Each structure stands twice: as structure tokens, then as C-alpha cells.
Structure 1
Amino acid sequence: MPTQLIAKLIELAYNETQSDLAHHEIEDRLLDNLLGKNLDFTTEQGEQATILFHSIGRGKESPSTVVTLQVEGIEFNQDAERLTLDLRYIFYQEYGYNFLFSGTSTKFLITSPFVQRLGPANILIEFAIYGNTVNQVNRCLSILAEVIRVHQATRHQTAIEWYDDHENKWEGDPEITLEEPIRETVSIDDPIEYIYESSNDESYIEDYIRYVDNPRGEIRNLIDNRNTYARSEL
């Protein structure tokens, strides 16, 4: 075999070994710094909860990381499939739109969150994110903690009640009319803010119903694609 070809094969083998070593070093660094790290937070109702890194792994494409978070302390009434949809919808409302359309688009989700129930007050949330640095992965705790807080807050719980109370009764697009804004601090003495907040709450509930109710609907496709737009950057 020609000497030049042998040298090239050795170079390729070395590069492949170095690549695998680098990937393992990245994963080890994430595990050493983040595995088991937790964040305590309080819901609107005063429930004490903890979110922590349950597992961290290398994503299929670089740079990406597969993360599983564990949430303890909140008793969820929904099954895993429905809770999965709720968290995806809330993520878009709280982060997805701004991450996508802000002047400095922030790449975050590659795959949408998926929920697994371990017990009444114990769930796992799995997803893949863009990035593999400690700082990029560490932000998962605060972001998903806020998503859970919003899920437990009055506005989203009101949306859940509207859907559950009227399921299979919608004819065409839902039209929600609230007697007053959900946020109690909005005063009728400020009519512009009062109307604005009422309209926002009604729109939030209507979009939630469209998202949950129609798996092949336009809004489901729109939100899921925007949530995971970072996938296109890989």
C-alpha cells in the first residue's frame, strides 16, 4: 500500500478518535456541572416545587443536547399526553414567539417537550435543545420552571376549565367572552387596559382550544414549528 495512502488513513482515524473524545469531554463537562442541579420555585397558589436535571445526553447533531428535567411538588390533574400539549402551548406563548421574532433570535428547542408521569406530584420533561455548553443547557431550569408556573397560574387553569367544560361542544372556531379580565389587578377605572387585558385573555383561551382540540389544525402546526425552529440551524 502506498505510503501516502497509509498516512491519510492514519490521519482520518486520528481525527475520528479526537472527534469522539471531544464529544465525550463535552458530555462529561455537562454531567459534572449540571446533573442533579435544582431550582426551587413557588406557584401562584403558593405550592413549593423543585425542578432538577434528571439526565443529560449528547444530541444526534452538533451542537445539541438531550435534556430530561424532573419536576416534584406539584400535583398535576392532567394525563401525560394532555400535559405535554399544555407545556408546548405555554412555551410558545411565553418564549417561542419572542425567541423566533426578536431581533437577536435565540435558538433553544430542537424537539418539543414530552412529559412522562412518575407519580401524582412527580413528572419528567424530555426535550432536545440547541447548544452544548454549560450556560446553554443551564438555562433549561429557569425557562421550564416558568412554563410550569404559568401552567399553574389562574389564566391557564381558566383555559383548561373552558376546554374541559365545553369539550365536543365547539362548532367551528371557539369564541370566548369573559365577563372581566382574569388578572384581578386590572381595574375597570382604566377602560383601555381593562378591554386590552380581556381581549388578550380571550385570545389566549381561544388559541389554546384550537391547539389542543385539532392535532392537524393550522395553529398546532404553526406553534410546533415555531417552537422548534432551532432544528433548522443544525
Structure 2
Amino acid sequence: MVEIPVPKAPGRTLARRICVALAERILSGELPPGTRLKDCDVARQFGTSNTPVREAFRELARDGLVELHPYRGCVVLSADPGELAEILEVRAVLEAEAARLAAPRLTCEQLAELELLADQCENAYAAGEPQRGIAADLDFHWGVVEAAGNETMARILRELHARMRVMCQARIATLPASAEPTHHALLAALRSGDGDRASALMAEHIASQRRATAAGSQERREEAQETYTT
């Protein structure tokens, strides 16, 4: 088995570095949902003992990327359409408030970064690359959350965003085209410092993604039913 080097990072423990390396592989799709991670195998890959690997597994579980089972061990979480809908409901509430808080605080540099991400998202969808578009969309939203300056809110949303990335990896081939996000109206409200308008636009933006995802799930159920009844 090939040993995977763990990059040195100031201030990070070995367990945290392993956690970050595994998270990157999960979020990239290299370790798809349902993959079982054995501590002994991962320890050999990273050239270390089982102890920091088990600690890394616990961190991944706290971040919502894996589940720990008494007999199956550590398993990359699978996508559940019902959970995705619930995550979007919670995000709509929290990120609407994040937009309200961020509007008067965003710097010119932060606004420029958000504009770049908005363009990247739209360009990715236009090029037929939804995976890249989803990544840019979540990065845009995370930029707003960070600008809000509420650490408790950020901690909750960090886990939800991580779950979204994993679930979108699993559902990438079946995400509806109508889920394509648009950000420029929201960006204009943020740039003007209008917190109330930014909040309303953010809530509607995420709600529209939830509706599009639900519609896509219904279409797939109907297609599956038709397949098995014809």
C-alpha cells in the first residue's frame, strides 16, 4: 500500500492533519459515500499508529463527513434527499441572518472575492460543469458567513456546508439544471449595505435551491416508477 505523506502545518496536530487530508479526499469524491475506512489501513497509508487516525475519525464525524459504527467502523456518509432538504431549510434561516450581519461589514476585498466566486459559479454552470459550480456556490455562501462575524453561527454552518459538499458529490449526476444559483442581485444588496434586502434575497435564493432539488427528486422517482411498471 502506498504511503501518503501528511503535509506539515504549523499549529496542527498529526490527527488534525490526517483529518484534513481525508476530508479533502471525501469532498473531492475520491472517497465516495458508503466507503468504509479502517483505522489500520489508514494508519499504514499515512505511516503512523492507529491512535491519531481514530482521533481524526472522531473529528470527521463531528464535521458531519463520516459516521462511526460499533461494528462497521468509520463510514463516509451517504446522501439522503430528505436530509438535503432539511439542511437547506436550516441554511435558509441562518444564512439569511448571516447576510443581514455581513452587509454593513464586508470590505472591498471581500466583495471582490464574492464577485469572483459568483462569476465562477455562473460560468461553471454555463459550461455544463455543475460540480465546479456547486463548489463555487458554497464558497460564495461561506464568504458571507465569515463576514458576518458570528462564530457560533459559523460553527453550525461549517458542518452543514461539509455535508452539502459530500451529498452533492453523491448526487452530482442527478442535480436538476434549475438548481443553478444566481448571486449578483444578492451581491448588489450586500455591496449597498442593505442588510434587510440581502437577508430576504439570501433566504429566497436558498429556498429556490430547495424547491429545485425537491422537484428533481420527484422527477427521478416518477422516472424510476415508470421504468419498473413498463
**Shared fold (TM-score greater than 0.5)?**
no
Structure holding more helix per residue:
2
Q: TM class, shorter-chain normalised?
A: under 0.3
With structure 2 as the length reference, what TM-score do the two structures score? Answer: 0.26
- Structure ID, larger Rg: 1
| Structure having greater relative contact order (Cα 8 Å, sep ≥ 6) | 2
